[in-house]
Amino acid sequence: MIKTYVKGSRFERDLIHFLNYKGFAVARIPSSGGFLSPIDVIAIKKGLTIAIECKAWDKLPKLDKKQLTHFREWVNKAGAIGFVAWKKPGNIWLFLRLEDAEDNRYQEDNWLPMENVLNALDFR
């Protein structure tokens, strides 16, 4: 369990450093998974808010219904865009839109490379 926590928190820290480099104001939420804060990372740039639930799993991650419900409520309150971020083996970072997770579209071809997501959100 501790090994999994360390792996996940390392991914979260790597992600916030990268997003900061890309010009986002970022924060890691250490109480993630809780009722009030069901996200791991928040990134803000020029009024755009991104909420991210991070998973550093060897296999394709899938959120349970309760976690998805809390994630959606938080995103709606914040006016944010929600993503599940997956660091899969080989240090490959992929993103799944919250809407795809809610519709149970976890197939690997629905996951987007992080650069594609950031390029789509880059409005300078």
Q: What is the mean pLDDT of residues 2-8?
A: 53
Structural domain boundaries of the chain? 2-121
Q: What is the mean pLDDT of residues 2-27?
A: 80
- Assigned fold of 2-121: Trna Endonuclease; Chain: A, domain 1 (3.40.1350)
- Cα dihedral angle (64, 45, 25, 8), rounded to 10 degrees? 30
C-beta separation of 43 from 33 below 8 A: no
Among 55, 70, 50, 74, smallest CA distance to 9 is for: 55
- pLDDT class for 30, splitting at 50, 70, 90? confident
pTM beyond 0.75: yes
